[in-house]
Amino acid sequence: MNAISMNMVTLFYLVASVCFIQALKGLSSPSTARVGNVFGMSGMAIAVVTTIALMLKLREQLSSGGMGFGLVLLGVVVGGAIGAVAARRVEMTKMPELVAAMHSLIGLAAVCIAIAAVSEPWAFNIAARGAALPFGNRLELFIGTFVGAVTFSGSVIAFGKLAGKYKFRLFQGAPVRYPGQHIINLLVAIAIVALGLMFCFSSGATPAWTPFIVMAALAFVLGVLIIIPIGGADMPVVVSMLNSYSGWAAAGIGFSLNNSMLIIAGSLVGSSGAILSYIMCKAMNRSFFNVILGGFGGEAASTGGGGAQEQRPVKSGSAEDAAFILQNAESVIIVPGYGLAVARAQHTVKELVDKLTEHGVTVRYAIHPVAGRMPGHMNVLLAEAEVPYDQVAEMEDINGEFGQTDVVLVLGANDVVNPAAKDPTSPIAGMPILEAYKARSIIVNKRSMASGYAGLDNDLFYQPNTMMVFGDAKKVIESMVKAVE
């Protein structure tokens, strides 16, 4: 390949990298998220087309029979079709599972590329045909394989826990714990490092396949072991962390292949995923390092399970009662949660808010960082319903206003408004919450009195100024709209 061709490849990769950076910047705010998505799709399109053009130049090295490039195109077509169908069919409530599934594929891809690079390094321009892999490339392939394998198996377990529909114990939301769990994890990790070093320091043109394959197999096992003790309530944090792992796996393979685009894209995903995980840990009062080590979760869920069974009196009312209270208020804050997403009630809520605004009621939305099942879940739902961005406030911006608010309408949210977080003895003590309990009146819409994802009873439901309205969120809000009219 001549110098001009390589310069063009470098230039297009640079443009794609700038698009990815702009995509992350755009996705940091709901008002610029659409533009951020356009930048991201454009950058990926440029990167894919450039890589295909690069492969056309190298097709003779990829396969003497000329089948290598055809298989790549087949993979692009089949994978793109599956992705398009999945994107159109997936429900907003299932987005976390989809994200976990995509992470697993990235990890598996990193492992497969590493195996191919170890088998035929000459095809990737890593070493001459018949020559031994350099030590640096062996180390990079070891790290990429290790992180990719952990990402794949860990994401598969996270997918099962989030889906909550599989009977296999490892896929259930309850944490799986056993004596000596951390010691076993440590021993497996030490074995992986030892085998990886054996592979890295092996000599000769023939790669040391035995330590490499055993190391990869143990990494798959470790991914399972570090995720199964984590309870379902903490799965959003785990998915975010696995997102970071998948990025670092891609970056590691990029170093081995000397592919600057893969390095940059992987680093962006890895670093942004780590930052997001840190933000989520703060929002859930978790330790960032415990997330990395897979040593958290389960305590809250298991401790709080009994509290959900306690029988305590609550005050309930009808949708018409709630509409009367809302219509006669001066200020209302709406707290959307997972129940709103399940019912797909965001458009109906927007209609209710429009009716209340016509009656002179000031309405705002309060968003918790981990409301729903992943960060930004509620923001996306409200944006889909074309809710004005200036009506949507983050937790730190609106918490101080609950004490001066007439009515708070909680729609399907649970743990993020639980006052138990203020109790030092509670399993979720210290978790930042939306302080809805400070409002003059509170209306909570839920299907039942079942506990939230953390498995804890919610003290907010039993306050004297709280009225429970039971039923599907969409049907209840539709009744409120009719009552307001």
Residue from 442, 237, 201 nearest 326 by CA: 442
- The three-state secondary structure class of 171 is helix
- Any catalytic annotation for residue 415? yes
For residue 225, how far is the Cα from the chain centroid?
20
**CB-count exposure of residue 380 (10 Å: 0-12, 13-18, 19+):** middle
Helix (H) or strand (E) holding 362: strand 362-367
406 vs 13: CA distance, rounded Å? 54
- The three-state secondary structure class of 441 is strand
166 vs 344: CA distance, rounded Å? 24
Which tokens belong to 43? 């950058």
Which tokens belong to 155? 């994401």
60 vs 257: CA distance, rounded Å? 17
Helix (H) or strand (E) holding 409: strand 407-411
Helix (H) or strand (E) holding 335: strand 331-336
Catalytic residue among 234, 354, 415, 459: 415
Residue from 312, 311, 319 nearest 443 by CA: 319
435 vs 424: CA distance, rounded Å? 16
Measured in degrees and rounded to the nearest 5, phi and psi for residue 329 equal -90, 160
What angle is formed at CA 231 by the lines to CA 230 and CA 234, rounded to 5 degrees? 85
**CB-count exposure of residue 303 (10 Å: 0-12, 13-18, 19+):** middle
Q: From its phi and psi, is residue 471 left (phi > 0), alpha (psi between -120 and 50) or beta?
A: left
- The three-state secondary structure class of 395 is helix
Q: Give the number of other Cβ atoms within 10 Å of residue 455's Cβ.
A: 24
Reported residue count of the chain is 485
Which tokens belong to 397? 């911006």
Which residues form the catalytic set?
A: 415
